[in-house]
């Protein structure tokens, strides 16, 4: 029997790898098997298409390509120019953006490019003006001191971590927290929703250079029109990190006030997650910031990864197809069905539901920490990640929450009926898991007790649920 193109491609690739390091080939095959058998509910993960995956494994990996299209510091980049220009073209058309920069290696890199572009555009200082008109080598040590002082003493206002914000929005463990004097806005303690009046009040008091919107664990829409009005009222640059919900913007599920591109000065995103592309980042902006953004390499980034830009071009082309809009809507439909199924079973959800692709469970009602719940679910074939909830008493490591999302399962074809079954599996595991104790008898935030027979039963049920929705059905590794 002849094999299809996808099976031939991946089998051949593994054979070539196996000839050099069989353990790597085995790990790649095992990863596919694990993903096929598990209920993947991590909100930031998805399944890229075979075309996108294959676009990353080629000779573009061998190229250095510092610079931008038509302005490289290395010769022989004409083919890199082609794929980078295609990726940018698809991004601009897909999101309605004036300019797209597709070189960032990750979401963090995209944010750093945006931060430095804003700083270079907005901060007025003698040292910065010297840096813009003179060669870097001509700057004196005093110039550098003044430049560091100006660029490192600006203010950023972003969403707090426990309310659903991200480390790259000005928090100390990340470089953004060392670059900026940062303050956070949270959510209403009663509803878990953004209180725009309070955000405006914080902006008036703090007067940030940058107002950041976007999230990694906020299960509702954000009104970007209002956020832009707040930014304008204090003269701030409005930046949106849409890494998590870019697919919902691309699929026209988020439009009008909930589409960040028409409202923000600059937008960053990853290209995986709900956008279903390769792991990487991207920056969208207007012409006023385009020149600064295009200096991302070498300002912040190392050499571009041409093979990943090629994969971005493929994935963005896929997202421009009509069926992607249907996919994006099904992501939200599934997330809402999953949330409703959990609520019916007595699970407490932050904000009581969802408007987007993710659901945030408060597992304290089960008597568990997020870490205990995460591991108990993993034992049962359900892959999630623990996450802080607003005012979390267990902090960011143990947490009181579990974050789940539907992009990956929606890619596999699961629908509303399967989401209710998934809610039942989750509830069964959490309701049958008990918090454990340390060796001295004190309560543990990490240890837990779950009957292995129950975990095995749920794992088999999860696998059976997935039987009708094969992952990469065209790929047969033999």
In a domain, 16, yes or no: no
Q: Is 273 a catalytic residue?
A: yes
Q: Does the pLDDT value for residue 366 go beyond 90?
A: yes
To the nearest 10 degrees (0 to 180), the angle between helices 322-344 and 416-431 is 40
Catalytic pick from 66, 121, 195, 257?
66
> 338 and 229 in one domain?
no
Look up the CATH number of the domain holding residue 240.
Answer: 3.40.640.10
In a domain, 329, yes or no: yes
- pLDDT confidence of 137, banded at 50, 70, 90? low
For 96, other C-beta atoms within 10 Å of its C-beta total 11
pLDDT of res. 365? 95
Q: Does the pLDDT value for residue 147 go beyond 70?
A: no
C-alpha–C-alpha distance, residues 319 and 251, integer Å: 7
> 452 and 313 in one domain?
no
pLDDT of res. 2? 67
Catalytic pick from 220, 228, 273, 312?
273
Q: Is 241 a catalytic residue?
A: yes
Do residues 342 and 428 touch, judged by C-beta distance below 8 A? Answer: no
In a domain, 471, yes or no: no
Q: Which residue has the tokens 């995460």?
A: 374
pLDDT, tens digit, 9 for 90 and up, residues 314-347:
999 999 999 999 999 999 999 999 999 999 999 9
157 is in an annotated binding site: no
> 301 and 241 in one domain?
yes
Q: Which residues of 60-82 are buried (b: 16+ CB within 10 A; e: fewer)?
A: beebbbbbbbeebeeeebeebbe
105 is in an annotated binding site: no
> 383 and 261 in one domain?
no
Mean pLDDT across the chain: 92
pLDDT of res. 175? 73
In a domain, 21, yes or no: no
pLDDT of res. 405? 97
In a domain, 97, yes or no: yes
> 299 and 347 in one domain?
no
Q: Does the pLDDT value for residue 163 go beyond 90?
A: no
pLDDT of res. 471? 95
Q: Does the pLDDT value for residue 460 go beyond 60?
A: yes
pLDDT of res. 301? 86
> 247 and 112 in one domain?
yes
Segment 168-190 shows an average pLDDT of 80
pLDDT of res. 123? 64
Q: Is 6 a catalytic residue?
A: no
Catalytic pick from 6, 84, 143, 241?
241
pLDDT, tens digit, 9 for 90 and up, residues 278-297:
999 999 999 999 999 998 88
In a domain, 5, yes or no: no
Catalytic pick from 52, 270, 347, 433?
270
In a domain, 51, yes or no: no
> 279 and 353 in one domain?
no
Look up the CATH number of the domain holding residue 455.
Answer: 3.90.1150.10
Q: Is 355 a catalytic residue?
A: no
pLDDT of res. 328? 98
Query: What is the total count of domains within the chain?
Result: 2
Q: Does the pLDDT value for residue 169 go beyond 80?
A: no
Domain end (from 290, 319, 348): 319
pTM (predicted TM-score): 0.91
SS3 of the chain: the string is: CCCCHHHHHHHHHHHHHHHHCHHHHHHHHHHHHHHHHCEECCCCCCCCCHHHHHHCCCHHHHCCCCEECCEECCCCCHHHHHHHHHHHHHHHHHHCCCEEECCCCCHHHHHHHHHHHHHHHHCCCHHHHHHHHCCHHHCCHHHHHHHHHHHCCEEEEEECCCCCCCHHHCCCCCHHHHHEEEEEECCCCCCCCCCHHHHHHHHHHHCCCEEEEECCCCCCCCCHHHHHHHHHHHCCEEEEECCCCHHHHHCCCCCHHHCCCCCCCEEEEECCHHHCCCCCEEEEECHHHHHHHCCHHHHCCCCCCHHHHHHHHHHHHHHCCHHHHHHHHHHHHHHHHHHHHHHHCCCEEHHHCCCCCEEEEEHHHHCCCHHHHHHHHHHCCEECEEECCCCCCCHHHHCCEEEEECHHHHHHCCCHHHHHHHHHHHHHHHHCCEEEECCCCCEEEEEEECCHHHHHHHHHHHHHHHCCCCCCCCCCCC
Residue with more model confidence, 141 or 424: 424
Range of the domain at 360: 322-466
In a domain, 13, yes or no: no
Domain end (from 274, 300, 319): 319
> 366 and 310 in one domain?
no
Catalytic pick from 45, 63, 64, 424?
64
> 369 and 306 in one domain?
no
Q: Does the pLDDT value for residue 132 go beyond 60?
A: no
> 164 and 63 in one domain?
yes
- pLDDT confidence of 131, banded at 50, 70, 90? low
Catalytic pick from 63, 279, 295, 345?
279
> 253 and 113 in one domain?
yes
Q: Is 198 a catalytic residue?
A: no
Domain end (from 256, 288, 319): 319
477 is in an annotated binding site: no
> 307 and 333 in one domain?
no
Segment 401-408 shows an average pLDDT of 97
161 is in an annotated binding site: yes
Q: Does the pLDDT value for residue 135 go beyond 60?
A: no
Q: Is 451 a catalytic residue?
A: no
């Amino acid at each position: 029997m002849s094999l299809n193109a996808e099976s031939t491609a991946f089998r051949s690739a593994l054979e070539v790898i196996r000839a050099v390091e069989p353990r790597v080939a085995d790990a790649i095959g095992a990863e596919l098997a694990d993903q096929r058998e598990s209920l993947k509910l991590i909100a930031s993960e998805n399944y890229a298409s075979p075309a996108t995956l294959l676009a990353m494994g080629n000779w573009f990996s061998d190229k250095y390509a510092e610079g931008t299209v038509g302005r490289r510091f290395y010769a022989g980049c004409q083919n890199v120019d082609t794929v980078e220009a295609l990726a940018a073209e698809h991004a601009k058309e897909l999101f309605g953006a004036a300019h797209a920069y597709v070189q960032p290696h990750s979401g963090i890199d995209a944010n750093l490019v945006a931060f430095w572009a804003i700083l270079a555009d907005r901060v007025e200082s003698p040292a910065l003006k010297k840096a813009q008109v003179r060669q870097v080598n001509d700057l004196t040590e005093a110039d550098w001191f003044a430049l560091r002082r100006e660029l490192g003493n600006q203010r950023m206002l972003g969403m707090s971590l426990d309310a659903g914000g991200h480390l790259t929005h000005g928090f100390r463990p990340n470089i953004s927290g060392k670059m900026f004097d940062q303050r956070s806005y949270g959510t209403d303690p009663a509803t878990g929703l953004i209180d725009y009046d309070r955000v405006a009040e914080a902006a008036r008091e703090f007067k940030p250079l940058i107002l950041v919107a976007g999230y990694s664990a906020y299960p509702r829409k954000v009104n970007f029109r209002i956020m832009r009005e707040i930014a304008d009222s204090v003269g701030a640059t409005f930046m949106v990190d849409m890494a998590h919900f870019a697919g919902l913007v691309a699929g026209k599920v988020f439009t009008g006030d909930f589409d960040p591109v028409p409202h923000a000065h600059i937008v960053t995103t990853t290209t995986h997650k709900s956008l279903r592309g390769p792991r990487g980042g991207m920056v969208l902006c207007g012409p006023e910031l385009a020149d600064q953004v295009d200096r991302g390499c070498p300002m912040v980034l190392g050499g571009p990864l041409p093979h990943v830009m090629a994969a971005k071009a493929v994935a963005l082309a896929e997202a421009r197809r009509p069926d992607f809009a249907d996919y994006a809507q099904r992501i939200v439909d599934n997330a809402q069905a999953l949330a409703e199924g959990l609520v019916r079973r007595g699970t407490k959800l932050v904000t009581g539901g969802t408007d987007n692709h993710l659901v945030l469970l408060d597992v304290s009602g089960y008597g568990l920490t997020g870490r205990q719940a995460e591991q108990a679910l993993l034992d049962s074939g359900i892959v999630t990640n623990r996450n802080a909830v607003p005012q979390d008493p267990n902090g960011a490591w143990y947490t009181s929450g579990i974050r789940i999302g539907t992009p990956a399962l929606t890619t596999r074809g699961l629908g509303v009926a399967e989401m209710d079954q998934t809610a039942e599996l989750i509830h069964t595991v959490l309701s049958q898991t008990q918090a454990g104790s340390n060796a001295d008898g004190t309560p543990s935030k990490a240890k837990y007790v779950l009957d292995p027979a129950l975990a095995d039963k749920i794992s088999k049920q999860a696998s059976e649920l997935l039987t009708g929705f094969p992952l990469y059905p065209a790929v047969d590794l033999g």
